[in-house]
Structure 1
Protein backbone atom coordinates (compact mmCIF):
# COMPACT_ATOMS: atom_id res chain seq x y z
CA UNK A 1 0.00 0.00 0.00
CA UNK A 2 1.00 3.61 -0.43
CA UNK A 3 0.57 6.35 2.18
CA UNK A 4 1.43 10.03 2.11
CA UNK A 5 3.99 11.17 4.66
CA UNK A 6 2.33 12.23 7.92
CA UNK A 7 -1.22 11.52 6.64
CA UNK A 8 -3.45 9.02 8.47
CA UNK A 9 -4.34 6.25 5.98
CA UNK A 10 -6.88 3.43 6.36
CA UNK A 11 -5.21 0.04 5.78
CA UNK A 12 -7.87 -2.44 6.97
CA UNK A 13 -11.61 -2.42 7.61
CA UNK A 14 -13.56 -5.34 9.03
CA UNK A 15 -17.05 -6.00 10.43
CA UNK A 16 -18.58 -9.03 12.14
CA UNK A 17 -22.22 -9.46 11.07
CA UNK A 18 -24.85 -12.20 11.36
CA UNK A 19 -26.85 -13.68 8.44
CA UNK A 20 -29.29 -10.76 8.61
CA UNK A 21 -26.41 -8.25 8.26
CA UNK A 22 -26.77 -7.15 11.89
CA UNK A 23 -23.83 -6.28 14.14
CA UNK A 24 -22.50 -9.15 16.28
CA UNK A 25 -19.35 -7.67 17.81
CA UNK A 26 -16.16 -5.85 16.91
CA UNK A 27 -13.64 -8.12 15.18
CA UNK A 28 -10.38 -8.58 17.04
CA UNK A 29 -7.33 -6.99 15.42
CA UNK A 30 -3.98 -7.00 17.20
CA UNK A 31 -0.86 -5.12 16.19
CA UNK A 32 1.90 -7.71 16.62
CA UNK A 33 4.72 -5.41 15.46
CA UNK A 34 4.48 -1.62 15.27
CA UNK A 35 6.00 0.24 12.30
CA UNK A 36 9.48 1.68 12.79
CA UNK A 37 8.70 5.00 11.09
CA UNK A 38 5.14 5.67 12.19
CA UNK A 39 2.23 4.42 14.25
CA UNK A 40 -0.94 2.39 13.87
CA UNK A 41 -4.36 2.86 15.44
CA UNK A 42 -7.21 0.37 15.77
CA UNK A 43 -10.57 2.17 16.03
CA UNK A 44 -14.20 1.08 16.35
CA UNK A 45 -16.24 3.02 13.81
CA UNK A 46 -18.76 2.54 10.98
CA UNK A 47 -17.45 0.77 7.86
CA UNK A 48 -18.95 -0.22 4.52
CA UNK A 49 -18.74 -4.01 4.16
CA UNK A 50 -16.80 -5.11 1.08
CA UNK A 51 -16.84 -8.79 0.15
CA UNK A 52 -13.98 -8.34 -2.31
CA UNK A 53 -16.07 -8.94 -5.42
CA UNK A 54 -18.02 -11.92 -4.06
CA UNK A 55 -21.79 -11.58 -4.28
CA UNK A 56 -22.69 -11.72 -0.60
CA UNK A 57 -25.88 -10.59 1.13
CA UNK A 58 -24.17 -8.02 3.36
CA UNK A 59 -21.92 -6.51 0.65
CA UNK A 60 -22.03 -2.68 0.72
CA UNK A 61 -23.92 -2.60 4.05
CA UNK A 62 -22.80 0.12 6.48
CA UNK A 63 -22.10 -1.42 9.90
CA UNK A 64 -20.11 -0.93 13.07
CA UNK A 65 -16.64 -2.36 12.61
CA UNK A 66 -12.91 -1.98 13.08
CA UNK A 67 -10.59 0.24 11.07
CA UNK A 68 -6.78 0.10 11.22
CA UNK A 69 -4.97 3.33 10.36
CA UNK A 70 -1.28 3.93 9.61
CA UNK A 71 0.40 7.34 9.98
CA UNK A 72 4.09 7.86 9.20
CA UNK A 73 6.30 10.25 11.08
CA UNK A 74 5.99 13.73 9.51
CA UNK A 75 8.54 14.16 6.73
CA UNK A 76 9.43 10.46 6.52
CA UNK A 77 9.65 9.04 2.99
CA UNK A 78 10.56 5.40 2.30
CA UNK A 79 9.45 1.91 3.29
CA UNK A 80 7.77 0.84 6.50
CA UNK A 81 5.93 -2.25 7.69
CA UNK A 82 3.88 -3.60 10.57
CA UNK A 83 2.30 -6.95 11.43
CA UNK A 84 -1.41 -7.54 12.18
CA UNK A 85 -3.10 -10.59 13.70
CA UNK A 86 -6.78 -11.42 13.26
CA UNK A 87 -8.81 -14.50 14.13
CA UNK A 88 -10.85 -16.13 11.36
CA UNK A 89 -13.48 -18.83 11.15
CA UNK A 90 -12.96 -22.18 12.85
CA UNK A 91 -10.37 -20.84 15.28
CA UNK A 92 -7.73 -19.99 12.69
CA UNK A 93 -5.47 -17.03 13.42
CA UNK A 94 -4.03 -15.09 10.50
CA UNK A 95 -0.98 -12.84 10.66
CA UNK A 96 -0.25 -10.46 7.85
CA UNK A 97 2.61 -8.12 7.07
CA UNK A 98 1.50 -4.69 5.88
CA UNK A 99 4.22 -3.23 3.65
CA UNK A 100 3.86 0.52 3.28
CA UNK A 101 5.49 2.79 0.72
CA UNK A 102 5.52 6.30 2.21
CA UNK A 103 5.63 9.14 -0.35
CA UNK A 104 5.66 12.95 -0.10
Structure 2
Protein backbone atom coordinates (compact mmCIF):
# COMPACT_ATOMS: atom_id res chain seq x y z
CA UNK A 1 0.00 0.00 0.00
CA UNK A 2 1.36 3.46 -0.83
CA UNK A 3 0.20 7.01 -0.19
CA UNK A 4 1.25 10.42 -1.53
CA UNK A 5 0.96 13.44 0.78
CA UNK A 6 2.10 17.05 0.92
CA UNK A 7 3.34 18.90 4.00
CA UNK A 8 4.53 22.41 4.74
CA UNK A 9 8.18 22.65 5.79
CA UNK A 10 8.63 22.60 9.57
CA UNK A 11 4.92 22.07 10.33
CA UNK A 12 3.67 19.01 12.21
CA UNK A 13 0.99 17.52 9.96
CA UNK A 14 -1.16 14.43 10.14
CA UNK A 15 -0.37 12.27 7.13
CA UNK A 16 -2.20 9.05 7.95
CA UNK A 17 -3.84 6.77 10.48
CA UNK A 18 -4.46 3.13 11.29
CA UNK A 19 -7.52 1.60 12.90
CA UNK A 20 -9.08 -1.81 13.37
CA UNK A 21 -12.77 -2.50 13.85
CA UNK A 22 -14.75 -5.69 14.10
CA UNK A 23 -17.59 -6.54 11.67
CA UNK A 24 -20.12 -5.44 14.34
CA UNK A 25 -18.42 -1.98 14.43
CA UNK A 26 -16.91 -2.50 17.89
CA UNK A 27 -13.28 -1.50 18.33
CA UNK A 28 -10.83 -4.29 17.54
CA UNK A 29 -7.32 -4.61 18.91
CA UNK A 30 -5.38 -1.40 18.48
CA UNK A 31 -2.96 -1.95 15.60
CA UNK A 32 0.70 -2.48 16.41
CA UNK A 33 2.87 -0.22 14.28
CA UNK A 34 6.58 -0.53 13.61
CA UNK A 35 8.63 1.99 11.65
CA UNK A 36 10.43 -0.04 8.97
CA UNK A 37 12.06 2.98 7.31
CA UNK A 38 11.99 6.35 9.09
CA UNK A 39 11.82 9.62 7.16
CA UNK A 40 15.27 10.88 6.14
CA UNK A 41 14.45 14.58 6.40
CA UNK A 42 12.13 14.84 9.38
CA UNK A 43 10.47 12.97 12.19
CA UNK A 44 7.43 10.74 12.47
CA UNK A 45 5.24 10.59 15.57
CA UNK A 46 2.53 8.00 16.25
CA UNK A 47 -0.33 9.20 18.47
CA UNK A 48 -3.25 7.24 19.97
CA UNK A 49 -6.43 9.25 19.33
CA UNK A 50 -10.21 9.00 19.10
CA UNK A 51 -11.82 9.85 15.76
CA UNK A 52 -15.22 9.76 14.13
CA UNK A 53 -14.91 7.35 11.22
CA UNK A 54 -16.09 8.84 7.90
CA UNK A 55 -14.39 6.86 5.15
CA UNK A 56 -14.87 3.15 5.90
CA UNK A 57 -15.80 1.19 2.79
CA UNK A 58 -17.43 -2.12 1.90
CA UNK A 59 -18.75 -4.16 4.79
CA UNK A 60 -17.45 -1.53 7.23
CA UNK A 61 -19.32 1.41 5.63
CA UNK A 62 -22.07 0.89 8.22
CA UNK A 63 -19.51 1.89 10.88
CA UNK A 64 -19.12 5.43 9.54
CA UNK A 65 -20.07 8.12 12.07
CA UNK A 66 -18.86 6.04 15.04
CA UNK A 67 -16.09 7.36 17.28
CA UNK A 68 -13.26 4.82 17.40
CA UNK A 69 -9.65 4.59 18.59
CA UNK A 70 -7.07 5.25 15.86
CA UNK A 71 -3.31 5.68 15.65
CA UNK A 72 -2.53 8.96 13.88
CA UNK A 73 0.74 9.41 11.95
CA UNK A 74 2.26 12.88 12.20
CA UNK A 75 5.18 14.07 10.08
CA UNK A 76 7.35 17.14 10.64
CA UNK A 77 10.20 17.99 8.30
CA UNK A 78 13.53 19.32 9.45
CA UNK A 79 13.44 23.15 9.64
CA UNK A 80 13.87 24.75 6.22
CA UNK A 81 13.78 21.45 4.31
CA UNK A 82 11.85 21.24 1.05
CA UNK A 83 11.77 18.32 -1.34
CA UNK A 84 10.65 14.72 -1.08
CA UNK A 85 10.70 12.41 1.91
CA UNK A 86 9.16 9.04 2.71
CA UNK A 87 8.65 6.50 5.43
CA UNK A 88 7.48 2.90 5.63
CA UNK A 89 5.37 1.44 8.42
CA UNK A 90 4.46 -2.17 9.18
CA UNK A 91 0.95 -2.35 10.65
CA UNK A 92 -0.19 -5.52 12.47
CA UNK A 93 -3.93 -5.64 13.11
CA UNK A 94 -3.97 -8.41 15.73
CA UNK A 95 -6.00 -10.79 13.57
CA UNK A 96 -3.09 -12.12 11.52
CA UNK A 97 -3.24 -9.30 8.96
CA UNK A 98 0.03 -7.40 8.51
CA UNK A 99 0.43 -4.62 5.94
CA UNK A 100 3.41 -2.50 4.94
CA UNK A 101 2.48 1.07 4.12
CA UNK A 102 4.82 3.46 2.28
CA UNK A 103 4.07 7.17 2.45
CA UNK A 104 5.80 9.64 0.13
CA UNK A 105 5.70 13.27 1.23
CA UNK A 106 6.35 16.32 -0.90
CA UNK A 107 7.59 18.97 1.55
CA UNK A 108 6.88 22.53 0.42
CA UNK A 109 8.15 25.84 1.81
TM > 0.5: yes
1:99 is aligned to: 104
CA distance in 1, matches of 2:85, 2:47: 21
User: What do the CA deviations read for 1:22-45 (whole angstroms, capped 9, x no partner)?
Assistant: 323321222111111001011111
Alignment of 1:1-104 (within 5 A): 1-49=5-53, 50-52=55-57, 56-87=61-92, 91-104=96-109
Q: TM-score, normalised by structure 1?
A: 0.84
Structure 2 gaps of 5+ residues are: none
CA distance in 2, matches of 1:89, 1:43: 18
Count, aligned residues: 104
* 2:31–2:93 Cα contact (<8 Å) kept: no
Query: Which shows bigger deviation, 71-80 or 17-26?
Result: 17-26
Q: 1:38 to 1:44 in 2, by over 3 A?
A: same
Structure 1 gaps of 5+ residues are: none
